[in-house]
């Protein structure tokens, strides 16, 4: 069984692993992969898709309708095999459907599609979630792509499409403490290892639609565009040759979270029969 899907058009080439519907290659046809080449000594993933939660739950569990369920960080979709629902030369829809295994840890009937579509400008990644059950469904979703850095992190910066309030949500371990740190107003954020000493740099309610990873020379490595994200995370590991730019619709628990899924900060909901489409675009 083929476990990878390849897409191409006149400009770009991509490759996606059916395990987790994970993007593993994206580049111009004549150039190299802009994603990092997975090295397990740093991190054993490339661009996981996060569903049905983003981040970590207090005690890696939650309650719903009075029952407790275990659910590990970022959910289970990234470790499940997806099926090809539709495919053309330059697009693919990959599907995960709820089953007996998923219902033990997430008691909702769903269809979760991850779609990749190449255009002349870049690659659009879409998440389409459908509630196929009889009650309200609660969920979060997000992306976690890691981009290759050829040089030390300090040689790169982030550029936003406008002057923004650079306010970081502080973490206490894996959970948000409720405190923030303020870095001023700017279109730029210079990258350094110090920024990530306390894990990810997370911004909630981002008031921008575009962020670019750029080299100090001014070269753009990648631009991410999104008009609907409710949070964004930037993350790397010490001395690792990558930076993750993570579009999120949801986020990790606060340290004082009640544990009830329907009360979780940032959670989304779908009524029976409803679906929601959320997407972002990568440009190079």
**Per-residue pLDDT tens over the stretch 233-261:** 999 999 999 999 999 999 999 999 999 99
164 pLDDT band, cuts 50/70/90, is very high
So what CATH class is 4-145+253-283?
Answer: mainly beta
Q: Is residue 92 predicted with pLDDT exceeding 70?
A: yes
Per DSSP, the three-state class of 158 is strand
- Alpha carbon 265 to its chain centroid, in Å, reads 17
- Write out pLDDT tens, residues 256-271: 999 999 999 999 999 9
pLDDT at 93: 98
* Distance, CA of 13 to CA of 92 (rounded, Å): 13
The answer to whether 78 and 99 are in contact (CB under 8 A) is no
Q: How high is the mean pLDDT of the chain?
A: 96
Q: What are residue 28's DSSP bridge partners? A: 12
205 pLDDT band, cuts 50/70/90, is very high
pLDDT at 1: 60
**First-to-last CA distance in the chain?**
32
Q: What are the tokens at 184?
A: 């001023």
Domain residue ranges of the chain, discontinuous segments joined by +: 4-145+253-283, 147-249
Mean pLDDT over 166-173 rounds to 92
Q: What percent of the chain has pLDDT over 90?
A: 93
- Write out pLDDT tens, residues 99-108: 999 999 999 9
pLDDT at 100: 97
Name residues whose C-beta falls within 8 Å of residue 45's C-beta, 6 or more positions apart in sequence.
Answer: 22, 38, 78, 144, 146
């Amino acid at each position: 069984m083929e476990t990878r899907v390849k897409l191409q058009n006149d400009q770009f080439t991509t490759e996606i692993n059916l395990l987790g519907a994970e993007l593993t290659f994206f580049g111009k046809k004549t150039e190299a992969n802009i994603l990092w080449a997975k090295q397990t000594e740093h991190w054993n993933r490339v661009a996981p898709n996060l569903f049905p939660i983003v981040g970590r739950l207090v005690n890696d569990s939650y309650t719903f309708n009075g029952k407790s369920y275990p659910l590990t960080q970022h959910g289970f979709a990234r470790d499940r095999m997806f099926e090809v629902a539709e495919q053309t030369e330059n697009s693919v829809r990959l599907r995960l459907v709820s089953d007996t295994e998923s219902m033990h840890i997430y008691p909702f009937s769903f269809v979760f599609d991850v779609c990749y579509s190449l255009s002349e400008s870049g690659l659009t990644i879409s998440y389409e979630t459908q509630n196929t059950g009889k009650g309200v469904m609660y969920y979060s979703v997000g992306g976690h792509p890691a981009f290759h850095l050829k040089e030390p992190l300090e040689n790169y910066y982030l550029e936003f499409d406008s002057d923004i309030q650079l306010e970081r949500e502080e973490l206490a371990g894996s959970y948000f403490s409720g405190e923030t740190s303020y870095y001023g107003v700017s279109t730029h954020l210079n990258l350094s290892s110090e920024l990530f000493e306390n894990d990810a740099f997370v911004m909630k309610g981002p008031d921008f639609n575009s962020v670019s990873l750029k080299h100090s020379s001014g070269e753009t490595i990648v631009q991410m565009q999104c008009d609907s994200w409710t949070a964004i995370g930037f993350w790397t590991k010490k001395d690792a040759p990558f930076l993750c730019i993570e579009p999120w619709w949801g986020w990790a628990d606060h340290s004082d979270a009640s544990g009830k899924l329907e009360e979780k900060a940032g959670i989304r909901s779908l009524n029976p029969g409803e679906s929601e489409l959320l997407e972002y675009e990568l440009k190079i």
